[in-house]
Amino acid sequence: MDYFSGHLANLVTQLGRLPGIGTKTAQRLAFHILSMPPEQAESLAEAITEARANVRYCKTCCTLTDAEECPICSNPQRDHETIMVVETPRDLAAYEKTGRYNGVYHVLHGAISPMMGIGPEDIRMKELMRRLSGNVKEVIIATNSSLEGETTAMYLSKLIRPTGIKTTRIASGVPVGGDLEYIDEVTLMRALEGRTEL
């Protein structure tokens, strides 16, 4: 039995396609959106449409940005000789919240996962290797402590080692199986400060 009319049912369906949003949450969000003043709902729809049309990958680090280069890569005050490799833009944001890392980043947009059919060519590894031909002194591998993250870290260390660039891995302050975006800033700082060379 259908509880909602076509437009409301479609809104619930579309919201339910978002990650982590089940049917009940999708319904709650739909009702909230419908109770918003029309100008707020229009602003939300416009923000989604504009972000989808204008956000792209940074030409240097591959994070999401609406400019050619993200604010971190274009900042001359950052240490461009140290690159932290992360899996997602959310991981980058997690480290930026600590306020203690002054280098730049490289976002892979995933991790190697043979079980899922994701190989090195499916993530932004080629772009990272191109960056290493410049003036880089250290690469900090800050992939998640999952099987896929560890596989990616080992693969990267083997690729980078012949270049002579110092390669480190974040320390074990990050729990195995944990995602960086959900870890508190203190734990992230301990992991960064206790990183080890691979």
Q: What is the percentage of the chain residues whose pLDDT exceeds 70?
A: 94
* Residues 90, 162 share a domain: yes
pLDDT of residue 177: 73
pTM score, whole prediction: 0.77
pLDDT tops 70 at residue 186: no
Residue 1 lies inside a defined structural domain of this protein: no
**CATH classification of the domain holding 21:** 1.10.8.420
Residue numbers of the domain that contains 154: 64-197
pLDDT tops 80 at residue 49: yes
Task: Name residues whose C-beta falls within 8 Å of residue 179's C-beta, 6 or more positions apart in sequence.
Answer: 91, 144, 146
Where do we find the tokens 């301990």? Answer: 190
Number of domains comprising the chain:
2
DSSP3 helix / strand / coil % (the chain, rounded to 5): 45, 15, 40
* Residues 48, 22 share a domain: yes
* Residues 100, 13 share a domain: no
pLDDT tops 60 at residue 9: yes
* Residues 135, 41 share a domain: no
* Residues 33, 96 share a domain: no
Phi, psi (deg, nearest 5) at residue 2: -85, 130
pLDDT of residue 176: 66
pLDDT tops 70 at residue 130: yes
CA distances from 33 to 36, 45, 56, 62 (A): 5, 10, 27, 32
* Residues 181, 107 share a domain: yes
pLDDT tops 50 at residue 175: yes
